A and B are shown apart, each in its own frame.
Chain A
Amino acid sequence: MWMSAAIEWSEVFKGTTVRTVIVAVLIAVAGYALLRSASALAGRLARQRLTPQATMLVRKMIFYIGAVILLIVVLQQVGVNLGALLGAAGIAGIAIGFASQTSLSNLVSGIFLISEKPFAVGDWIQVGGNNGYVLSIDLLSVKIRTHGNQYIRIPNETLLKAEVINISRFPLRRFEFMVGVAYKEDVARVLELLFDVARKNHFVLEEPGPLIYMKSFGDSALEFFVGVWHTRTDWEEVRKTLPQEIKERFDAEGIEIPFPHRTLYTGAATAPFPIRIVADAPGSTRGAVPATPPEGAQ
């Protein structure tokens, strides 16, 4: 077995001399330098007309195609019988093909991503549970940096299959949230205050105007929808300031924001629950008397 393999390899390197090896090394070194220069030059020319992703693709394609050609030239120079080499590497090629299935899938996905341009370097995207700024779009993967300064590599195949949200594509965004107030509050007054707080917030745009309305009757509160527009660069300031300003304004105006609660009653036919008010300071158990149900209560 090993004997036949040795004979095959001796066939491959038939006629190789020291001189041919030296010439091959020189070709390899010069060819590599030439390839790097050609790739860089193509990148510079492409940058003037193409996007950064397409520029990167052009550079890498030129480099890898050139590298394959250079390898063939070098092997021919050292007298390698390419036909025999390919024959010997046939089985290995099939194995490598199976192994690189994922990589090829990522590669093709990368080409689709670059041509479709769902996002660009510098955009802020959300994929699955991750979101961050796009650092690079490469042939096999996309690299993003999260707000927590984590580096995440997302395979292109995953990106092509997943729902990708490009958060920074448009210059404006709407910040939406719900505000609950007690049922006893005057709806018109609450709406007036919410509009006033939104109008006075420096980061909220006057137009498109805020969208604020009473949305639903919640378990514990009347629920108001608040949607305000801001520029994409102000998203953090709006999120930090507006809810706080609403809370402060409601406190100042005596508008109650209730916590979740339930009212218990025992039915129309029964007496109400007995409650005894204890006059001691809050938190004190001194003087507390257990409630005693009235006669007849169940």
Chain B
Amino acid sequence: MNGSFIEVWRPTRIGVNEVVRRSVGPLSLWLKRTSQEWLLATRRVPEEVGWGPPLPGAPEPHEDEWLRWTAGDETSMFRLLPVMPNRPVVLRPESTLAVPPTRQALLFVEIPIWVRITAGAELRFVLREEPTVVLPRTWFGDLASGELCYALTTRARRSVSPADARIHRAVCPVRVQNAWTAPLEFDRLCVHVAHLSVYTAAAQLWTNEVRVTFRGPDDPCQVDYAEGAPSAETITGILGEPRAPTTRSLLQRSFAGLWGFKQL
């Protein structure tokens, strides 16, 4: 896995009329360059039915599956980059989590990445962004002023095992601090992933750490997006820049528990 894991994110040269095939988990991409155009086709298999790189004899996309971009022949390079989803992600632990008063918990959440396909001079021309897994959409907040998010059911593990590494998911460390006087019980946690970068380690993608401080059900949470890579991991470099960089502490409504969604 390591070889292909690193390879897939490297800039690649493509000849005229050559077709290059790449796989990022359930997402398969075909890229083709002519003297005047870039062409891209994508296919996705449901994550739960199993996935892997397309078989060598797998048929090429049909004509109507290709998307075309007019471009000059100034470059023959393209690159795939991992980025976070384009909307906040509502994390739903498989069972309700509770954090005692004045305590904190570090959770590891695997978020399916999006793939940004770039080409052109200095690889600045973004052809497209494709999700590796199409997450269901959900609403976080009240009906009048909430926000549209993706829903992600997670095991919210307390540790990371290399055996669970998957090329199309980035591990996001979420540190939950309960600064309230009562236990924090929640079954929804909204993370604004637009503020997260994507880093690469040996065989796993990582994001920077999210620190959420809960100060009571009536107050917004204080959310900090740590600068730099998570310290516990052997990070080899940054691959994906955040969509909306921030260095400030943000006040955001982040949790929904037994008191939260009843309002809906």
Stretch with Cβ within 8 A of B (4 or more), from A12-20, A88-96, A114-122, A202-210 = A202-210
* Cross-chain contact A170 with B143 (CB below 8 angstroms): yes
The answer to whether A133 has its CB under 8 Å from any CB of chain B is no
The answer to whether A231 has its CB under 8 Å from any CB of chain B is yes
* Cross-chain contact A171 with B138 (CB below 8 angstroms): no
The answer to whether B55 has its CB under 8 Å from any CB of chain A is no
Return the chain B residue nearest A173 by Cβ: B143
The answer to whether A172 has its CB under 8 Å from any CB of chain B is yes
* Cross-chain contact B264 with A171 (CB below 8 angstroms): no
The answer to whether A124 has its CB under 8 Å from any CB of chain B is no
Picked from B90, B134, B146, B261, the residue with its CB within 8 Å of the CB of A171 is B146
* Cross-chain contact B261 with A207 (CB below 8 angstroms): yes
The tally of residues in B whose CB lies under 8 Å from a CB in A reads 14
The answer to whether A224 has its CB under 8 Å from any CB of chain B is no
Picked from B134, B136, B143, B151, the residue with its CB within 8 Å of the CB of A172 is B143
Picked from B134, B140, B144, B264, the residue with its CB within 8 Å of the CB of A202 is B134
The answer to whether B137 has its CB under 8 Å from any CB of chain A is yes
Contacts of B90 in A (CB 8 A): 207
Task: Kindly state the separation between the CA atoms of A258 and B148 in the bound complex, as whole angstroms.
Answer: 38
Q: How close is A255's CB to chain B, nearest CB, in angstroms?
A: 24
* Cross-chain contact B144 with A205 (CB below 8 angstroms): no
Q: Mark A202-235, 1 if CB is under 8 A from B, else 0.
A: 1001111000000000000000000001010000
The answer to whether B139 has its CB under 8 Å from any CB of chain A is yes
Task: Kindly state the separation between the CA atoms of A50 and B205 in the bound complex, as whole angstroms.
Answer: 48
Q: How close is B76's CB to chain A, nearest CB, in angstroms?
A: 36
Task: Kindly state the separation between the CA atoms of A207 and B148 in the bound complex, as whole angstroms.
Answer: 10
Return the chain A residue nearest B134 by Cβ: A202
Return the chain A residue nearest B135 by Cβ: A206
* Cross-chain contact A208 with B151 (CB below 8 angstroms): no
* Cross-chain contact A207 with B151 (CB below 8 angstroms): yes
Task: Kindly state the separation between the CA atoms of A229 and B151 in the bound complex, as whole angstroms.
Answer: 15
Q: How close is A233's CB to chain B, nearest CB, in angstroms?
A: 10
Return the chain A residue nearest B145 by Cβ: A171
Q: Mark B82-104, 1 if CB is under 8 A from A, else 0.
A: 00000000100000000000000
Task: Kindly state the separation between the CA atoms of A229 and B136 in the bound complex, as whole angstroms.
Answer: 13
Picked from B138, B143, B144, B146, the residue with its CB within 8 Å of the CB of A206 is B138
* Cross-chain contact A171 with B136 (CB below 8 angstroms): no
* Cross-chain contact B143 with A208 (CB below 8 angstroms): yes
Task: Kindly state the separation between the CA atoms of A170 and B136 in the bound complex, as whole angstroms.
Answer: 21
Return the chain A residue nearest B188 by Cβ: A207
Contacts of A202 in B (CB 8 A): 134, 136-137
Contacting B at CB under 8 A, from A123-157, are none
Task: Kindly state the separation between the CA atoms of A175 and B264 in the bound complex, as whole angstroms.
Answer: 16
* Cross-chain contact B144 with A229 (CB below 8 angstroms): no
Q: How close is A114's CB to chain B, nearest CB, in angstroms?
A: 23
Q: Which among B134, B139, B146, B264 has the greatest number of chain A C-beta atoms within 10 A?
A: B139
Contacts of B138 in A (CB 8 A): 205-207
Picked from B134, B139, B140, B261, the residue with its CB within 8 Å of the CB of A229 is B139
Q: A170-B143, A172-B143 are in contact. Are A206 and B148 (CB under 8 A)?
A: no
Contacting A at CB under 8 A, from B23-62, are none
* Cross-chain contact B139 with A205 (CB below 8 angstroms): yes
Task: Kindly state the separation between the CA atoms of A168 and B90 in the bound complex, as whole angstroms.
Answer: 25
Q: Write the residues of chain B forming the contact surface with A, with a CB cutoff of 8 angstroms.
A: 90, 134, 136-140, 143-144, 146, 148, 151, 261, 264
Query: Would you list the 5 A-B pairs with minimal beta carbon distance, nearest first?
Result: A206-B138, A207-B138, A206-B151, A206-B136, A208-B264
Q: Write the residues of chain A forming the contact surface with B, with a CB cutoff of 8 angstroms.
A: 170-172, 199, 202, 205-208, 229, 231
17 A–B contacts, CB within 8 A, in A order: A170-B144, A171-B143, A171-B144, A171-B148, A205-B139, A206-B136, A206-B137, A207-B90, A207-B138, A207-B139, A207-B140, A207-B151, A207-B261, A208-B143, A208-B264, A229-B139, A231-B148
Beyond contacts A172-B143, A207-B264: 10 other A-B pairs, Cβ-Cβ < 8 A, are A171-B143, A171-B144, A199-B136, A202-B136, A205-B139, A207-B139, A207-B151, A208-B264, A231-B137, A231-B148
